[in-house]
């Protein structure tokens, strides 16, 4: 139930904090800002939870400390690109735009940089359960997140991870148990015997319905007095001291503070506020099998084909793949259907005739970390975007940090330098 009221005469009541984007990041910012005593207004062109946060794999991963930009990953790229069933695709027309991003990505994959990124991932991801649980209790939906553990599997023998990945987990104190052969089948009986190698992360968890997660938090902040507007932000009006209003499809929405949490679309707006960053729309797909005929006990990630499978309220979700094609290209549903083939191999007997499919844009910066940062040009602007593969996991801590930034009470516990907007300035 979003408000569509015209807002051209809103000057009398400038939003204390206007948040652009009602995905998981935007609603967590709203919840933590409310807790800090702020009056918040959210604006999204869609109803809450219909952007990238709609269709992810729901992995809630305090132990996610291994970046995607690992050294050596680049060598896999030609093989992945040539494999029609592979996890990566690049639209040729988009390649020239991707070069600058790829060079940054290569820099991020140097071992020292990887270690620094891993520490920043830990700081953001580790408190995820304590970040969500109070919100969901108050929202009346604590059942949405389960501390289920997560399983990674491969049909190949030998260690599943590089030495560096193991080092990163060990340094971070993340529990990970190697599980092989029959023990793997005992843990996850639906899995094909082809899969002999497993890694259990017992302290990770899962969200049973990512869209409902956003909706539950949005409903909660609305009940606590937040206004949620359904409209598109086009640009901003500047006063003598900086931006003072969003110019939207609903009219002008004045604000005192602005939080930009517009996911993969954020750079279109941040450019107008003086920040231009290499943000890619890393497109991912899902298939949700609505009558799978079997249901794995655990969320299981297939390491050979880089996709996740997750038991959800709506059925068995298969989610993953990375496609670089920009924000506006039409989906290639063939990329989603590939997931059906993989799932049939992974779960013998799974029924694949009834499904829904979806494409979403991960907001991805070259180092995989988000920007959580006050604008260097405008004191009343805070950026909160770029959560890439880990937005569900990083959102609650982001919300807390954003509330601290808006309140001008920076956290003593988390060093914000790795998430600074200025790291891409050079
Ligand atoms: C296939 C797939 C699987 C994934 N699996 C996981 C997982 O298991 N675990 C995990 O932690 N993460 C996962 N992710 C990543 C996660 O989904 C994202 O990081 C997260 O959803 C980003 O949230 P967000 O709020 O920043 O963006 P979004 O959810 O996209 O929200 C941004 C919102 O901004 C709005 N908006 C944009 N521009 C404007 C404008 N100009 N005016 C008004 N509104 C605007 C959009 O409509 C949108 O609703 C996955 C992603 C994909 C694609």
Radius of gyration of the chain from its Cα atoms, rounded to whole angstroms: 21
- d(CA 217, CA 49) in angstroms, rounded, equals 10
How far does the centroid of ligand 1 lie from the alpha carbon of residue 385, in Å? 9
- Bridge pairing between strands 251-260 and 381-385: parallel
Average pLDDT for 271-300: 97
Q: Is the pLDDT of residue 35 over 80?
A: yes
How far does the centroid of ligand 1 lie from the alpha carbon of residue 419, in Å? 18
Average pLDDT for 354-372: 97
pLDDT digits (tens, 9 = 90+) for 121-153: 999 999 999 999 999 999 999 999 999 999 999
- d(CA 273, CA 65) in angstroms, rounded, equals 31
Chain centre to alpha carbon of residue 42: 19
Least confident of 8-22, 98-112, 218-232, 378-392: 8-22
Residue of 22, 50, 53 to mutate, ligand 1, most atoms within 8 A of C-beta: 53
Least confident of 71-85, 100-114, 361-375, 390-404: 71-85
Q: Is the pLDDT of residue 386 over 90?
A: yes
- d(CA 132, CA 395) in angstroms, rounded, equals 9
* CATH number for 329: 3.30.9.10
Residue of 4, 19, 20, 23 to mutate, ligand 1, most atoms within 8 A of C-beta: 23
Confidence of residue 6 (pLDDT cuts 50, 70, 90): very low
The ligand 1 site (C-beta within 6 Å) comprises: 20-26, 43-46, 50-53, 56-59, 232-233, 261-265, 269, 284, 286, 308, 319-320, 360, 362-363, 385, 387-393
170 CB-near residues (< 8 Å, 6+ apart): none
Among protein residues, the one whose CA lies closest to atom 41 of ligand 1: 233
pLDDT digits (tens, 9 = 90+) for 190-229: 999 999 999 999 999 999 999 999 999 999 999 999 999 9
> What's the pLDDT score for residue 9?
46
User: Residue 349: inside a domain, yes or no?
Assistant: yes
Average pLDDT for 64-84: 83
pLDDT digits (tens, 9 = 90+) for 169-191: 999 999 999 999 999 999 999 99
How far does the centroid of ligand 1 lie from the alpha carbon of residue 263, in Å? 5
Residues 297 and 351 in one domain: yes
pLDDT digits (tens, 9 = 90+) for 254-282: 999 999 999 999 999 999 999 999 999 99
- Give the dihedral of Cα atoms 215, 219, 220, 221; nearest 10 deg: 100
E-only strand ranges, 313-353 = 315-324
Residues 100 and 247 in one domain: no
- Bridge pairing between strands 197-201 and 150-154: antiparallel
> What's the pLDDT score for residue 426?
62
Lookup: tokens for 420: 């600074």
* CATH number for 383: 3.50.50.60
Among protein residues, the one whose CA lies closest to atom 18 of ligand 1: 391
Residues 152 and 283 in one domain: yes
Confidence of residue 93 (pLDDT cuts 50, 70, 90): confident
Confidence of residue 10 (pLDDT cuts 50, 70, 90): low
- Give the dihedral of Cα atoms 209, 266, 414, 144; nearest 10 deg: -10
> What's the pLDDT score for residue 41?
98
> What's the pLDDT score for residue 75?
76
**Percentage of the chain modeled with pLDDT above 70:** 97
Residues 178 and 249 in one domain: no
How far does the centroid of ligand 1 lie from the alpha carbon of residue 212, in Å? 14
Q: Is the pLDDT of residue 4 over 90?
A: no
Answer with the one of 337, 364, 391 that is the final residue of a domain: 364
- d(CA 290, CA 301) in angstroms, rounded, equals 19
Among protein residues, the one whose CA lies closest to atom 22 of ligand 1: 391
Answer with the one of 316, 338, 364 that is the final residue of a domain: 364
User: Residue 188: inside a domain, yes or no?
Assistant: yes
Residues 77 and 220 in one domain: no
Residues 196 and 216 in one domain: no
Least confident of 26-30, 60-64, 159-163, 198-202: 159-163
User: Residue 141: inside a domain, yes or no?
Assistant: no
Q: Is the pLDDT of residue 346 over 90?
A: yes
Atom index in ligand 1 nearest the CA of residue 48 equals 49
User: Residue 29: inside a domain, yes or no?
Assistant: yes
Q: Is the pLDDT of residue 48 over 60?
A: yes
- d(CA 191, CA 155) in angstroms, rounded, equals 11
> What's the pLDDT score for residue 12?
52
Burial (Cβ within 10 Å: 0-12, 13-18, ≥19) of residue 170:
exposed
Of the candidates 43, 105, 129, 37, the one whose C-alpha atom is nearest the C-alpha of residue 394 is 129
Q: Is the pLDDT of residue 7 over 70?
A: no
Residue of 2, 30, 44, 47 to mutate, ligand 1, most atoms within 8 A of C-beta: 44
> What's the pLDDT score for residue 1?
35
Average pLDDT for 389-399: 98
- Bridge pairing between strands 40-44 and 15-20: parallel
How many structural domains comprise the chain? 2
Atom index in ligand 1 nearest the CA of residue 58 equals 8
Q: How far is CA 179 from CA 182, 199, 200, in A?
A: 9, 6, 7
- d(CA 195, CA 184) in angstroms, rounded, equals 8
> What's the pLDDT score for residue 198?
97
Cβ pair 360, 55 in contact under 8 A: yes
Residues 108 and 200 in one domain: yes
User: Residue 125: inside a domain, yes or no?
Assistant: no
393 CB-near residues (< 8 Å, 6+ apart): 59, 60, 61, 62, 64, 124, 125, 128
Among protein residues, the one whose CA lies closest to atom 44 of ligand 1: 44
Of the candidates 58, 43, 1, 52, the one whose C-alpha atom is nearest the C-alpha of residue 23 is 52
Residues 324 and 255 in one domain: no
User: Residue 3: inside a domain, yes or no?
Assistant: no
Confidence of residue 155 (pLDDT cuts 50, 70, 90): very high
156 CB-near residues (< 8 Å, 6+ apart): 197, 304
How far does the centroid of ligand 1 lie from the alpha carbon of residue 23, in Å? 6
Residues 194 and 343 in one domain: yes
Residues 302 and 417 in one domain: no
User: Residue 61: inside a domain, yes or no?
Assistant: no
Residues 226 and 254 in one domain: yes
Residues 244 and 290 in one domain: no
> What's the pLDDT score for residue 8?
47
User: Residue 270: inside a domain, yes or no?
Assistant: yes
Range of the domain at 319: 71-114+147-206+279-364
More confident of the two residues 77 and 376: 376
Helix (H) / strand (E) containing 31: helix 24-35
How far does the centroid of ligand 1 lie from the alpha carbon of residue 339, in Å? 20
Answer with the one of 316, 332, 364 that is the final residue of a domain: 364
How far does the centroid of ligand 1 lie from the alpha carbon of residue 165, in Å? 26
How far does the centroid of ligand 1 lie from the alpha carbon of residue 319, in Å? 14
How far does the centroid of ligand 1 lie from the alpha carbon of residue 195, in Å? 31
Least confident of 37-41, 284-288, 421-425: 421-425
């Amino acid at each position: 139930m979003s408000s569509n009221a015209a807002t051209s005469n809103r000057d009398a009541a400038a939003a204390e904090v206007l948040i652009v984007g009602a995905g998981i990041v935007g609603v967590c910012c709203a919840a933590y800002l409310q807790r800090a005593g702020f009056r918040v207004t959210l604006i999204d062109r869609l109803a809450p939870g219909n952007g990238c946060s709609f269709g992810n794999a729901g992995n809630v991963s305090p132990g996610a400390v291994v970046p995607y930009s690992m050294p050596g990953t680049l060598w896999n790229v030609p093989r992945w690109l040539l494999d029609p069933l592979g996890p990566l695709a690049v639209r040729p027309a988009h390649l020239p735009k991707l070069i600058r991003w790829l060079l940054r990505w290569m820099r991020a994959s140097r071992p020292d940089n990887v270690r620094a990124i891993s520490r920043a991932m830990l700081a953001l991801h580790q408190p995820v359960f304590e970040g969500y649980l109070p919100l969901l209790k108050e929202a009346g939906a604590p059942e949405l997140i389960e501390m289920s553990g997560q399983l990674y599997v491969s049909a190949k023998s030998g260690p599943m991870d590089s030495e560096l990945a193991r080092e990163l987990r060990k340094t971070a104190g993340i529990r990970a148990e190697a599980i092989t052969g029959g023990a793997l089948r005992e843990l996850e009986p639906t899995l094909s015997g082809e899969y002999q190698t497993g890694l259990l992360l017992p302290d990770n968890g899962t969200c049973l319905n990512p869209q409902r997660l956003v909706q539950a938090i949005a409903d909660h902040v609305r009940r606590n007095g937040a206004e949620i507007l359904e409209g598109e932000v086009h640009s901003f009006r500047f006063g003598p001291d900086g931006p003072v209003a969003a110019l939207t499809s609903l009219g002008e929405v004045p604000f005192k503070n602005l939080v930009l949490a517009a996911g993969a679309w954020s750079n279109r707006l941040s450019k107008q506020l003086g920040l231009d960053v290499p943000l890619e729309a890393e497109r991912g797909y899902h298939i949700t099998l609505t009558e799978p005929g079997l249901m794995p006990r655990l969320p299981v990630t297939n390491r050979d084909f880089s996709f996740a499978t997750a038991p959800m309220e709506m059925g068995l979700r298969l989610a993953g793949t990375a496609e670089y094609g920009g924000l506006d290209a039409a989906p290639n549903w063939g990329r989603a259907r590939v997931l059906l083939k993989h799932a049939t191999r992974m779960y013998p007997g799974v029924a694949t005739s009834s499904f829904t499919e979806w494409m979403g844009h991960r907001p991805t910066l070259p180092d995989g970390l988000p920007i959580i940062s006050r604008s260097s040009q405008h004191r009343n602007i805070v950026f909160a975007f770029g959560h890439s593969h880990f937005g569900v996991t990083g959102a609650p801590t982001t919300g807390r940090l954003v509330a601290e930034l808006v309140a001008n009470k920076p956290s003593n516990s988390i060093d914000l330098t790795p998430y600074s907007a200025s790291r891409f300035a050079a």
